[in-house]
Copies of this chain bind each other. A is one copy, B any other.
Amino acid sequence: MKIALAQLNYHIGNFEGNLQKMLAAVESAKKQGADLICFGELAVCGYPPRDFLEFDDFIRQSYESIKALRHASRGIGIVVGAPTRNPFLEGKDLYNSAYFLYEGQTLGVQHKTLLPTYDIFDEYRYFEPATEFHAVEFKGKKIALSICEDIWNVGNENPLYTICPLDEMMTEQPDLILNISASPFNYAHASLRIHTVRANVERYKIPMFYVNHVGAQTDIIFDGGSIVMSPDGQVFDEMSYFEEELKIYDLGEVIGGGRTNEQAKDKIKLIHDALVIGIRDYFQKLNFKKAILGLSGGIDSAVTAVLAVRALGKKNVRVLLMPSQFSSRHSVDDARQLAENLGIQYDLIAIQPVFGAFETALLPHFEGQPFNVTEENIQARIRGVLLMAMSNKFGHILLNTTNKSEMAVGYGTLYGDMCGGISVLGDVYKTEVYELAKYLNRDGEVIPQNSIAKPPSAELRPGQKDTDSLPPYETLDPLLYQYIECHQGPRELVEMGFDEALVKRVLRMVNINEFKREQAAPVLRVSSKGFGMGRRMPIVGKYLS
């Protein structure tokens, strides 16, 4: 039996687009002699569809897609994910299902059992878990269908769940396991995924075919990396990261095993590739072409600009240099040098005259008040207005350049440098931004060395440095990581050796700036805990602040 895995880039709610893409893959797989083709979880509607699922019309369109695929299943089996209406009065209205279609018929429908409801996932908001487990007979083989999380409770050892759907299915002695997933990227996830597939294969001693989504849906990025594992526990094949791919496997060869084809998993390269596809898909799926951003001469905007050029092409990226009276000569030079290195359009708008107009307008009200963060914020906001004006006039979408360290401690101006349609680096700590910069420069200097080497500064008052307000990033970032990614509270952090006063200060900064993050752009998620839907904190909450 020949099994095709179609690792595709779906688009939420784009039924027509998703269907055409799948039908083309079906045709291609048929031509190549595949008996069966497998698409991802909720492939007909894209993942995560969120509250679109609450519209009956949306579900109706999903059914239409399944009907079309069923029609296309002459001569080839099709496994595809789609929502199914729950026919029973009790429980949530929908199931998250895997359809097995063949010869114009539905051979089987297996609902998802384990419904992730943590971090960015809200599946129990919409779906009822499966209570029945049946393998599907196809061309003399029994196939156990499973959906994403269903394989993440091996032997019922995951404390989140009380049932192991594949254990249930094994009473029917299936010959292989198919898993259709929508498993979002983070820089450590590909290894975990292989580990989990292996744990299943070792338990059941049968091969597993695991197919994932690829591409970004706003903040959530899918890396692909679909897996075929032989019963010997070896990775028979791991499909590309961040690219669509259709590959066909001979079941006999997979069962034979003895082959390992696993990809390298370099953290910074993975983050780089994820951010590039994240930018590209945000633009493509919203039908935008051109991006704009402000170049300060600092490292964050430099890295963002390079990533944007890689995602959209240099013709589609435009930058503004907007020095104030506090900008160093160096900053403008570095920004200009970067724009020239990238070959992108850049324009210079000095903000001093506009700043002067604001000062004059506010003078009657500010008389006698010292220069403080107010005036710093006005500068950042003038830049925001200028960038948005270019965006409005010419249709460039503004890229936000805030990094995760700044976003965590609120070191940024709401409606100023926090503006933007999508935050490129909001899940990348400052120390990781440096690593990204080095990675981008690995084949020659694109980002001027000076932008990398100089001490970070917002340049909003004379001689300002980030370390005036913040601990050094080498100290700050590990603490933030433990608090944000690892959920370590103040006691645990002190026990881990972090300075108590620092812990108190940093956790307070993180918590009192929840109101800023609430209004931030969506953040391309590359870690196990990004800001946004995956981290839900109260704003008026007093805990630790």
Contacts and interface: CB of A to CB of B under 8 A. Distances in A.
A540 B217 contact: yes
Interface in A128-161: 156, 159-161
A50 B542 CA distance: 13
Given A57-B492, A385-B382, A421-B515, A11 B542 contact: yes
A103 to B, nearest CB: 31
Contacts of A521: 518-519
Contacts of A487: 54-56
Interface stretch (A194-202, A367-375, A426-434): A367-375
Chain A interface residue bracket vs B: 35 or more
A231 interface: no
A286 interface: yes
A95 to B, nearest CB: 14
Interface string A90-111: 1111000000000000000000
Contacts of A381: 381, 384-385, 388, 415
A57 to B, nearest CB: 3
B541 A49 contact: yes
Contact of A533 (B91, B281, B536): B536
A522 B533 contact: no
A159 B91 contact: yes
B543 A51 contact: no
A52 B535 CA distance: 10
Copies of this chain held together in the complex:
2
Given A347-B365, A374-B393, A378-B385, A543 B358 contact: no
A414 B416 CA distance: 12
A54 B534 CA distance: 12
B374 A489 contact: no
Contact of A91 (B52, B162, B491, B540): B162
A538 B374 contact: no
Contacts of A205: none
Contact of A13 (B93, B361, B541): B541
A122 interface: yes
A118 interface: yes
A90 B156 contact: yes
A354 interface: yes
A185 to B, nearest CB: 16
Given A91-B160, A536-B122, A538-B49, A543 B489 contact: no
Contact of A415 (B92, B118, B388, B533): B388
B117 A358 contact: no
Contacts of A419: 415
A454 B92 CA distance: 47
B538 A48 contact: yes
A392 B362 CA distance: 12
Interface string A511-545: 00001001111100000000001011111111110
Nearest to A58: B543
A456 interface: no
A282 B93 CA distance: 36
A521 B518 CA distance: 7
Interface string A278-301: 000110011000000000000000
Which of A52, A421, A520 has the most chain B CB atoms inside 10 A of its CB?
A: A52
A322 to B, nearest CB: 9
A366 interface: yes
Contact of A393 (B55, B360, B372): B372
Q: What are the nearest 6 A-B pairs in CB distance?
A: A13-B543, A57-B489, A357-B357, A374-B392, A14-B542, A285-B540
Interface of A: 11-15, 17, 46, 48-52, 54-58, 61, 89-93, 117-118, 122, 124-125, 156, 159-162, 216-218, 281-282, 285-286, 347, 349-351, 353-354, 356-358, 360-362, 364-366, 369, 372-374, 377-378, 381-382, 384-386, 388-390, 392-393, 414-415, 419, 421, 487, 489-492, 515, 518-522, 533, 535-544
6 contacts: A13-B544, A14-B543, A49-B538, A218-B539, A282-B540, A374-B393
